[in-house]
Every structure is written in C-alpha cells, then in structure tokens.
A and B are shown apart, each in its own frame.
Chain A
Amino acid sequence: GQSLEQPSEVTAVEGAIVQINCTYQTSGFYGLSWYQQHDGGAPTFLSYNALDGLEETGRFSSFLSRSDSYGYLLLQELQMKDSASYFCAVLSTGRRALTFGSGTRLQVQP
C-alpha cells in the first residue's frame, strides 16, 4: 500500500520561513506533489517533484530525496494568507490518482 506522513500542525509568524516535511512509503513512486487548501476551498496545486532536488516557485520551494522517500515544502516570507492546510501527495506509476497525506495545518500569526 501507500502511506504518507506529515505533521498535523505548524505555527509560524509573518515574514518567517517554515518547512513542512513529508515522508512516504509507496511502490512504483513517480512523483511528489504539494497542494494548498484554504478552509472551505478546493485544493490548489503548488509544486511537483519527480527528480531529486529543489524546485522553486516564487516564495514556495519543494524538495525531494527519492533515496530517503522524503520531501518538504518550504514557504518563505510568510504572509497571513498562507494560513491553510498543506497536503503532500504521491503519484505512483500505473496510477493516475494521487494518494494524499493527512495534511498540515499552517497557522501564520502576526
């Protein structure tokens, strides 16, 4: 089967940097995605890593280590609007569906 682990909650202050970790167990790993979901909203795509290394998109970066089955999402210059739940999700070969982690609730404080 497939499983992902990520912290349930993270709190940080405006302007700070926060890292959300994700470890996964899966067969036929294809890539790791990150999604953001505000309360009452739909998940929106943030980033995708298929290869080892760092992907940067503005204030957000995502890292993957396939050998360690580990990835993280890095959020810089935190803003209040970044308060949301963040999900890591695995895409495995042969499947066209995502297996999601349980989500990390990020609370940004002034």
Chain B
Amino acid sequence: KAGVTQTPRYLIKTRGQQVTLSCSPISGHRSVSWYQQTPGQGLQFLFEYFSETQRNKGNFPGRFSGRQFSNSRSEMNVSTLELGDSALYLCASTSGTGEKTQYFGPGTRLLVL
C-alpha cells in the first residue's frame, strides 16, 4: 500500500502571497489531518477532514483553510503569508473510524521570505 504523499515537498513564497498544499492519504483512508511543525511551537494541529467535512479545527487564524475532495485527497491553503508561517506542514491519514494510529506524509517545507 502506498503511503501518504504530499506535494510539493519544498516551497518558497514571499509575504502576502498565498499557497496551496496537497495531501493524498493512504488508499482507503477517509480522514486527513494537517499539522504545522516549527522549532518554536512544535507540532500543532490545524484541522481534520473526514468525508469532505471538517470535523475538528485547531487554534489557527482564518488565513489557514482546507478542504477535502470525494477521493479523500485534501488541500490546505494559507492566504496572506507571514514570515511566521515558515514551517513544515504535515498531513496524516487514518481510516477515520476509531483508528488511533496516524500515518504521516513526508511534509511540505514552506519558507516565507
């Protein structure tokens, strides 16, 4: 079974721009969660989608948004980028039906200049 894939792997943007990141979960998994990882704040939960619906949301500003498609692929969007948005963005997938293990993708490393 193929693992979680994320594209792109690396991205450089400038302040004020917007960015869209993509995540394809493990085949058959219906839940996708997004996390932001920075040296200062660690791993922080952004949001979780299941069957195209956002089920959970972390404490991030509205500039961070996401969506999920019918094939369970998910995208997250960050608008009006700030320097502090530079981070590793990780997505993780599970079956969404009580499974405790989250399977992480390799992440997208975003640098905002």
Contact = CB atoms under 8 A, between A and B. Distances in A.
Interface of B: 31, 33, 35, 42-45, 48, 50, 55-56, 58, 90, 92, 94, 96, 100-107
A41 interface: yes
Contacts of A33: 100-101
Given A96-B33, A101-B42, 10 more contacts: A42-B104, A42-B105, A43-B43, A48-B100, A97-B48, A97-B56, A98-B43, A98-B45, A100-B35, A103-B42
**The 10 residue pairs across chains A and B that have the minimum distance between CB atoms:** A100-B43, A42-B104, A97-B45, A102-B42, A45-B101, A48-B100, A43-B104, A97-B56, A42-B106, A97-B48
A44 interface: yes
A95 interface: yes
B58 A97 contact: yes
Given A48-B101, A97-B33, A42 B45 contact: no
B31 A42 contact: no
B107 A42 contact: yes
A38 B90 CA distance: 14
Contacts of A101: 42
B45 A99 contact: yes
A91 to B, nearest CB: 6
Which range holds the interface residue count of chain A? 20 to 34
A87 interface: yes
Contact of A98 (B102, B103, B106): B102
Interface string A30-55: 01010100000111110010100000
A41 B106 contact: yes
